Amino acid sequence: MTVTIRSFAKINLGLRIGAAREDGFHELLTVYQTIGLRDVVQVSVGRGNGIEIQCTDSRVPKDQSNTCCRIVEKAMAALRAKGRVVIDIEKRLPVQGGLGGASSNAVAALLGLERALKKTLPAEERLRIAAEVGSDLPLFLVGGTVLGVGRGEQVYPLEDLPGLACVVVTPEVGVSTPKAFAEWDRKLTLPAASDRMNELGRGFSAWLSQMYSGAPFRRGRRENPLLELVRAGIKNDFEEVVFPEYPELSEGKSALERAGAKYASLSGSGSTLYGLFTSKEAARGAEARLRKQGWAAQATVTLPRRGYWKRIFR
């Protein structure tokens, strides 16, 4: 049996880098949001043993280092299952793009494997295995609007934002996440790392409660989540180290803003940029305008949790 899974992308709505830890990771605070752009992952289990990765994109590793291989190996052991697992990845998302493509592919492989074997792991064990493979995997086991803390692997579902119109720009640059963290340490380690984390924490809290607690004349307005996001001054720290190295990414953010984005940002460590718009029409207009200017732009929507889980299996 072959199981087909939609492997959706994420963006980061704000990201703050905290102190470097003894284990080589950094403390992190971010809000992840799943979006409609996706890869497609197919999983089948047959006789024999081993794991095979099929993908026509030469940048995707086909060996043991592939995140799908790593998670399937762990899941097969945990499920005490045997067989040859073949994973086919139809790559549409950028590689090293800050959209969590490889992480999402791994979670899709895990979900597909469980279906193919007709066996499931307890939810806690899925989360544990996912976190062992990478900091950005567990969010895809929650979906929708997700708070990420720790090194980004500790995830909590937040009240979902409504589906927001979004344009994603994918420049042809691959940014290495470990290098971006190292650059942050070299250039910008600030003494009061925990104060900065607390500051963004307050920003998130103010932003997400404003719809209910804000001044009565503002309450209930449709554009509130977007306006409050801007007002709360929520930003992605990676822009500080990635934009100076790749000035075209900073230009991409400005291009999104000029095309009408109410909020624009780098996603993760990049190179993907996104803009949030007040309507689908505005996003489609921006997509056309940006393409004319030579940017690889795609209009999509943010995916709340229910829609995410409904659309994963097809």
Binding region for ligand C5P (CB under 6 A): 24-26, 28, 134-136, 151-152, 177-178, 181
Complex with ligand C5P: residue 148 or 304, whichever CB lies closer:
148
Least distance (Å) between residue 276 CB and ligand C5P: 24
Least distance (Å) between residue 222 CB and ligand C5P: 34
Two tokens, residue 137: 């995997």
Complex with ligand C5P: residue 88 or 136, whichever CB lies closer:
136
Complex with ligand C5P: residue 67 or 170, whichever CB lies closer:
67
Least distance (Å) between residue 186 CB and ligand C5P: 13
136 flagged as catalytic: yes
Least distance (Å) between residue 176 CB and ligand C5P: 9
- Annotated catalytic residue within 39, 88, 136, 160: 136
262 flagged as catalytic: no
Least distance (Å) between residue 312 CB and ligand C5P: 21
Complex with ligand C5P: residue 104 or 135, whichever CB lies closer:
135
Complex with ligand C5P: residue 149 or 206, whichever CB lies closer:
149
Q: Which residues are catalytic?
A: 10, 136
